[in-house]
């Protein structure tokens, strides 16, 4: 029994997981089962496969490298790659749109600022004009009142 290599019988590596061993066993069992395969060596092969499977289920210990291996940062799953690329694409598109939006807002703000400054200047001119009219009216009224006082005295 010690000379028998059960891994070789099933055709799996020593670093294989239990799930991989089970999957391969099912394939081989279907292939060599006496109901499916009528050849003379199929029954013997099926018995060896079954013996190897039972032994490996009880005694299989994957190598340390396989059990302690953690996914590296460079190793990415398809989902992560898709997620990352879609995120990058979305951010690029968002930045473009946002930059365009900012440009439009800045242009509108500039035009609004210019319009506002024009209105302020116009209103200041109007106020100055009104003040100058009021001042000139007051000056005229003061002169008239001063003349009346001279004549009344």
Which tens digits make up the pLDDT trace of 107-118? Answer: 888 888 788 888
- Give me the CATH topology for the region 6-68: Helix Hairpins (1.10.287)
pLDDT, position 125: 74
pLDDT, position 75: 55
Task: For the chain, give the mean pLDDT.
Answer: 77
Alpha carbon of residue 95 to chain centroid: 13
Q: Are 42 and 32 in contact (CB under 8 A)?
A: yes
State both tokens at 102. 């900012």
SS3 assignment, position 17? coil
Which tens digits make up the pLDDT trace of 32-47? Answer: 888 888 888 888 888 8
Q: Are 75 and 36 in contact (CB under 8 A)?
A: no
Task: Give the global pTM.
Answer: 0.40
Q: Are 48 and 32 in contact (CB under 8 A)?
A: no
Q: Are 14 and 63 in contact (CB under 8 A)?
A: yes
Mean pLDDT of 1-16: 80
Q: How confident is the model at residue 81 (pLDDT cuts 50, 70, 90)?
A: low
Mean pLDDT of 116-139: 77
Look at residues 45, 42, 23, 24 and name the one whose alpha carbon lies nearest to residue 34: 42
State both tokens at 73. 């940062």
Q: Are 18 and 57 in contact (CB under 8 A)?
A: yes
Q: Are 29 and 46 in contact (CB under 8 A)?
A: yes
Which tens digits make up the pLDDT trace of 51-79? Answer: 988 888 888 776 655 445 555 555 556 66
pLDDT, position 89: 75
């Amino acid at each position: 029994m010690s000379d028998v290599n059960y891994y070789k019988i099933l055709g799996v590596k020593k670093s294989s997981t239990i799930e991989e061993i089970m999957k391969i066993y099912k394939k081989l069992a279907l292939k060599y089962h006496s109901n499916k395969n009528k050849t003379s060596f199929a029954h013997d092969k099926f018995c060896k496969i079954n013996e190897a499977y039972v032994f490996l289920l009880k005694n299989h210990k994957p190598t340390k490298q396989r059990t302690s291996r953690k996914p590296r940062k460079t190793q990415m799953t398809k989902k992560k790659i898709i997620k990352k690329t879609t995120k990058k694409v979305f951010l690029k598109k968002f930045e473009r749109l946002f930059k365009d939006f900012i440009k439009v807002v800045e242009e509108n703000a500039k035009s609004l600022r210019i319009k506002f400054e024009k209105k302020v200047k116009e209103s200041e001119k109007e106020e100055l004009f009104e003040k100058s009219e009021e001042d000139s009216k007051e000056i005229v009224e003061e002169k008239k009142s001063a003349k009346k006082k001279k004549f009344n005295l």
